Structures are given as structure tokens and as C-alpha cells.
Structure 1
Amino acid sequence: MLIGSDTRHAVVIGAGMAGLAAARVLSDSFEAVTLIERDTFPRESAPRAGAPQGHHVHGLLALGAEVFEGYFPGLRAELEQAGAPVWDWGEGLYAVLPNGTPPPTPMGMPIQTFSRPFLEHVLRRRVRALEPVTLRDGLTVTGLRTAGPGKVVGVRVKGGDGEDEIAADLVVDASGRSSRLPQWLATLGLPSPRTATVDAQVGYASRTYSYPDGQTPPPWMGVLQPLRAPDFHKGCYAIQIENNALHVTLHGANRPQLPHTDDEFLAFAKTLRGPVAETIAHLTPTSAVRRYARTVNRRVAYHRLAGWPDGLIALGDSVCTFNPAYGQGMTVAALEARLLEQMLSGRHTRTPLDGQAFQRRLARITASPWLMATIPDRAWEGSRPSWPVKAGNWFMNRLIDTVPQDPQLYTAFSALFHMTAGPLTLADPRLLSRVLIGPRPGRIPRTTTT
């Protein structure tokens, strides 16, 4: 199916990370871009009601940071000047793995940490400054405007001034987990797309802390203690962020009993290995305990839907959502925006974009992150896994158990985690043999709480 007959006006539904990145790309090809958001934008950096996950630790992987920097030159420097620290992943991360903690390992992999609302605030300001872009908040998209069953020509909206219609040559659904696109497609006579879900029933509880005057921050920049079925059902993420603050997310699998109060939060942290509990015991909380449990992995097979209408594409969490534990969402959104740019710039002048081809190529982008997230999460579901899932889990567990005593393997795994290298990196016989041999007895570093 072909999208549009011109490149005059694009509408983007949703001003989260995927929507902001898409609007930035579209501003190079369309004369006008309207970015519609149901929430009212906060004046400063603050979580939005439509993005409750903003209260929790977010990570922008190294590849995602590189892509965003390309679209917003000077972004890293701007964030750093505003207080978001930059540090080397191998040197600044305290990784509490099931089989030990890797020693500091310089990797030359710069990472920047910040809160999700802060990054979104800065990107929103950058996008608003783009001449073709208009941001409209407090506006809900209620449906698609069509010219026959096979062509989308805009959206219907509802706001404080009542209902209205907005014409568009291209509509981009970036409305996230709450997307109503399957229902809208049904009104066009299309069948329901197949949807795959994997739910480890992971829950989060988060809060931020400040350092008392004169107190030195910890020697690490981030703490990572991942979950792993069936034995390691509690973990955490902690990162130093803007405003000299520490952001801590505690998480658990299999319907965990998450903390509500100050005392419960600290008590949960004390059940973990590593330095988080000792650190926060001496800090001042600056937020309430916030909980979150919408962590199911969900992938909608729009790429297999026959009869995809003209004038429409979907990306971001509208198409594929990941358990936030793996930190992939923002980076995948950046890669999808890059795909959109490539397909727009690859056309001849005034040549329509093939929307169905876009969905198919987007599915290839999400395939590897989907496996990275769902293979370990399937181990929590209780059903008997297929042999490919069992083999994948065995290999990943073996790899992670070997990492604490092998700096080269730790570096390769970190590149895979940050998506700067693909899975074939581990096919190097020198690395693969070390994974298959596994950790050597007597050489496993102990995890301490200091």
C-alpha cells in the first residue's frame, strides 16, 4: 500500500519518545507536522499522566544516544550542562550479577543518565523549535479520517473546544501502550492483527533521593541487579541523574509484594545484594514511592496485516513494547525514526512512501530486541518452554555467569546489551568457546555490599 500523494502535512499521535523522534524526522520532509498529545505538557521537567513509567529509572542505550545526538546535535552537551552525568559503562556500573560482580573495566562506552521526564522535556523543547512542527496538547485523537476503506486522510480529535477533524497526508500512530489502532483498523474492515505477549509479571517501585550537604556521592554511577528465573526474583536499578539526585527502582517478578512506604522501601532494598540499601539509608527521599506493573512484552503483527491502508504508519510502543527492565524502548524508538528517515529520503521527489514496507522493515528492527527481552521473561511464565527458548536461556545464563571473571566477554556482552553490536559478535570462536566452557571454579568474584 502507498502512503499519500504529497508531502504537505503529517500528523503524529503521541508526544512520547517515539512521537518526538518521528516529528523530528518528518520535519525534514513535510511542510507541516502536527504533534498531538492527550496530556497537557508540564512547563518544567515532570512526569506526565500518560507516561506513568516516567517515575521509574530509564536508560538510553549507547546506540540510542548516538542516534538522538544525530537528530539533535549537541544534545549530550546540553543535558550534561544541565546536570546529567556522562560516564563510562564499564567503569561506572556496579553490576550485581547472579555469579558475582565484574571488576571496573574501561570500555570507552560513554553513557549518560537522567530521568525520563527531563530528557522528554529537553527533546520537546527542541522539537517545538522546529519551524514545520506544531505541538497541540490536551487533545485526544478519537479516530481516523478516511476517504474510503483503504485510505487514511487525517484524524478526528476531541478537546476543550469540542470535536474537530485534522486533514493529513500521513498519520503516524506513536500513542504507545494505550494505542487504539486495532479498533480503528477494524472500522476500516481490517481483521484484528495477531498480537504476541510475554508477561513475567514484573513490578516496580521507585523513588528519588538527594545527598545531604557535604556528603560525597557513591563511587559508582549506576547499580544493576537483574532478575533471573527461578532463583533471583528481586533486583534493582539505581542511577545518578540530574540535580545531583539518585534515582532508585526496585523490582520483582511473579507478582511481587512491592513496597509502599519509606520503611518498606528500605526493607526491600536490604534483601538485595550490592550497595543500594546502605547508600539510600543515609540519603533524603525527594519523592513518594511510586509503583508500576504494566511490564508485559507485547508485539502487534501489523507487518502481516493484508490491506494496510494508505496514509498510515505505526511505530514505538504502539507496535512493540518491552519489559522496561531491559532498557530498550527509547533506543528502539530512535531506530524506528531512523528507518522512517531512510525510507523518506530514499524516495524520488514526490514519490509516495510504501507504508506496508515500512511496517515490515520495522518488524525486523524489533525482532532482536524482542528476543532479548522475551527469552528470559518466558522462564517466569510457568509453562514448559520450547527447546529454542530453553537453549537461548541456557546460553544467556552461561554468558552472564562467565562475565564477572572475563573482562573481554564483559565488554562484548555490554556492546550487545547497548545494541552497538549484534548477536553475531558472540559467534567469534574465541568468545563462544569461553561461554561454552563457562565460569572456572575458584575464580568467581564475590559480591559485596560495600
Structure 2
Amino acid sequence: MGRGVRHAVVIGAGMAGLAAARVLADSCEAVTVIERDTLPRGSAPRAGAPQGHHVHGLLALGAEVFEGYFPGLRAELEQAGAPVWDWGEGLCAVLPNGTPPPTPMGMPIQTFSRPFLEHALRRRVRALEPVTLRDGLTVTGLRTAGPGKVVGVRVKDGDGGQAPPSWMGVLQPLRAPDFHKGCYAIQIENKALHVTLHGANGTQLPHDDEDFLAYAKTLRGPIADVIASLTPTSAVRRYARTVNRRVAYHRLSRWPDGLIALGDSVCAFNPAYGQGMTVAALEARLLDQMLRGRRTRMPLDGRVFQQRLARITASSWLMATIPDRAWERSRTAWPVKAGNWFMNRLIDTVPHDPRLYTAFSGLFHMTAGPLTLADPRLLSRVLIGPRPGTSLRAAAA
């Protein structure tokens, strides 16, 4: 970069980019820092620095350099909680041949997380008059004025140049025997999209980003187009422990004093149905109610607790096991077949009937019990099934 540069552009608001912006601010009329990530307002990790979750160390020399460019930085960080200590006295160095004893060295070290330091530096850099920090922009290339001369950069909005999806979540469930691929995607904190792809009946699930997108393209709905417009912030991770498991502790005739069982030790669900955390909360509420309802200093009746807990898990157990058992290749008992037929009929009718959709949502979120569907008006809608030529939008108008 030659002399007389009026406007400098820094690509990236990491440690190097922030330090560079600080130096350039002394000699340029304007400095623009372009960062692909949407930067957190406080001290929090960001997608572009996945290593930021791990331990970071600023060596003594690096601390001196930063202090020179950002006077008072060490005191500011210390006041905010970052400790300062002598390297020789405070470090326990477990070496192959022993551990050196504490040795005062007069080498002050300050320790903090990387997000903590980045946040402090971003605040300092943003306060510099010539500097503008623009996040949520991706640099796609360099602008040139003839061979060998760079005059600017090309950018696009966000990680993918598209507006956020109009929906907050996408759910595409599995269903035996034909729908053996599905997904669940939700918008979460920091404008991120969390996507789970799932499959059944021996479906091969993706291992990497390329396979992940290819799998998504086989699904109906908008998920593939949205994924293609975004940048992954983590590796693809697989999970295969989807077996439903229930232990019938409530049927024991005797139960030991001083012991209760809850959570996965009693009932574990296929996570595809999203019931586990809510059931855990209900079990905790049951425990609270029984503890408050007992007489003073009376021990909790563990056997009664297990019996009541079994009633709490009963409907969720049916919601998970009936559709899962439909994938079994062995001959299915008629009650399971009947239950599965009813659930399929219900789900097929839901898109065409707003009232039934509302009732089913209450059942799914456990704010209403299965008896909700015993209402003759709702039951008849399920038994009749979807009416040709209707849709959710038309019915709601």
C-alpha cells in the first residue's frame, strides 16, 4: 500500500483486522472494516472464529504491542474481570521430567477468552473517527483498475446475499412406509439457522456439507434453497440413538426408600418427536408437588412417585412409539395399526382444517391431552378425512 491512501478497506474484523484498522486510522482519512459475520453486541463467540471457544493466550510481547496501540487496554480488561498474574509464579507447568517450582519472573500475563478481548478491541476500533465497521457483508472479489492495481472490493449482503426466510421453523416429519426422509429447521440466536435432517428405514444420512445439501434437495419444501444460500458454521454431526425405551418401575410391588428415578433412566424418547425436555420439566414439577404436599419430615413415597410419573409419560410414549413401530417389518398388532391409521388420517386432514390444526398443535406441544380429539366435532373431521379442493388458506379465509 503506497503513500497518500485516502480510504483503506480491511477484510475481516478478527484480531489481525482490528489491529490493522487501528494502525491505518493514523494515516488514512477513512478506514472501512468489512466482516462476514454478524458481530455479537457483547462478548460472545462468532461463527468466523470457531476456535474462539477454546483457550487463547496473549503472550507478553503481544500484550505490550496491543497496550501501545490501545493505551489502558490492560487496565480496562482487568477492571472487567480479566486477571493479571506473573507467569513464573502462577503457571503450573507439568513437563515430561517434572514441574518447575513457582518462580517470580516479573512477567505479567493477563488471561481472558478470545471473545472477551475481541469485544474490547472492537469497541476501541469503532470509537476511532476514521473507522467504519460493517458486518454481515461477504467480500466476493477485488476491484481493479488495470493490471496490478487494486482499487476496492466486491461484496454481497450477509453470508449468502438473501433475505432471512419468512418462516421461523420448518418441520417435515417421517412417516412409514413412504416418507423416509425429513427435516426440522429453526431460526435460533445470532440469526443462525439450526437444521436437522433425519431418515428412517435404512436411509443413508449425509456426512459432510456437500452431502448435506444434496440430501436436503431430495426433500419437499423450502429448506434446500435456504441452506444453499448460507454458510455452515459447524461440521455435520450424526446421531443414531433414536430407540424409544421405557422401564416399568411403576409396576414393582416394592420400591426402596430414599430413591426415585426420572428422566431417561425411566423413559427415553426418539428425539425426532421433541418431547424429552418437556417431559423432564413435567417430571420435575411432579417432584416439586409431591415434596410440597408431604407432611413435615415425612419421606417421599418413591413408589407413588413412580406410579404418577408413569401417567405423565404415557401419552408421550404413545405419540413416539405408534409411528415408530409402523416401520417394523414384523407383523404389527392391530391396536398399533389402528392407532397409526388414525394418526396418519389426522395429519393428512390437518393442512385442510384450521380448527383441527389448532387442536393437533395443542396435543403436539402437550398443552392439551389426547382426550381433546374425543370431541365428536373434531373426531368426525378426522374420520371423514381431508375434503378435496380445500386448503388451509381457503378454509381459514
Decide which structure has greater helix share.
2
Q: Note if 1:370 corresponds to 2:370.
A: no
Q: Note if 1:240 corresponds to 2:187.
A: yes
What is the alpha-carbon distance in structure 1 between the residues aligned to residue 244 and residue 372 of structure 2? Answer: 25
The correspondence of residues 389-400 of structure 1 with structure 2, limited to 5 A, is 389-400=336-347
Identity fraction in percent: 83
Give the CA deviation at 1:387.
1.3
What is the alpha-carbon distance in structure 2 between the residues aligned to residue 357 and residue 348 of structure 1? Answer: 15
SS class of match (1:432): helix
Matched to 2:202, the amino acid is R
Give the CA deviation at 1:315.
0.4
Larger Rg: 2
Corresponding position of 1:195: none
Q: Note if 1:317 corresponds to 2:264.
A: yes
Map Cα deviations across residues 56-88 of structure 1 (whole Å, 9 max, x no partner): xxxxxxxxxxxxxxxxxxxxxxxxx999xxxxx
Contact 2:181 2:199 in 1 (8 A): yes
Give the CA deviation at 1:443.
2.5
What is the alpha-carbon distance in structure 2 between the residues aligned to residue 309 and residue 409 of structure 1? Answer: 45
| Structure 1 residues 234 and 214: CA distance shift in structure 2, 3 A | closer
Matched to 1:268, the amino acid is Y
Matched to 2:209, the amino acid is D
Contact 2:261 2:306 in 1 (8 A): yes
Contact 2:353 2:391 in 1 (8 A): no
Q: 2:230 aligns with which of 283, 301, 311?
A: 283
Corresponding position of 1:225: 172
The correspondence of residues 65-80 of structure 1 with structure 2, limited to 5 A, is none
Map Cα deviations across residues 214-271 of structure 1 (whole Å, 9 max, x no partner): 6421000000000000000000000000111000000000122110111110000000
| Structure 1 residues 279 and 370: CA distance shift in structure 2, 3 A | same
What is the number of residues matched between the two proteins?
240
Corresponding position of 1:428: 375
SS class of match (2:190): coil
Contact 1:211 1:245 in 2 (8 A): no
What is the alpha-carbon distance in structure 1 between the residues aligned to residue 160 and residue 167 of structure 2? Answer: 19
What is the alpha-carbon distance in structure 2 between the residues aligned to residue 351 and residue 82 of structure 1? Answer: 48
Contact 1:211 1:217 in 2 (8 A): no
Matched to 2:221, the amino acid is G
Corresponding position of 1:329: 276
What is the alpha-carbon distance in structure 2 between the residues aligned to residue 255 and residue 82 of structure 1? Answer: 43
Contact 2:269 2:317 in 1 (8 A): yes
Contact 2:363 2:370 in 1 (8 A): yes
What is the alpha-carbon distance in structure 2 between the residues aligned to residue 211 and residue 350 of structure 1? Answer: 60
Give the CA deviation at 1:306.
3.3
The correspondence of residues 21-420 of structure 1 with structure 2, limited to 5 A, is 212=159, 215-420=162-367
TM-score of the aligned structures, taking structure 1 as reference length? 0.52
Give the CA deviation at 1:361.
0.7
Matched to 2:225, the amino acid is E
In structure 1, list runs of 5 or more residues that go unmatched: 1-80, 84-209
The structure showing larger relative contact order (alpha-carbon pairs under 8 Å, at least 6 residues apart) is 1
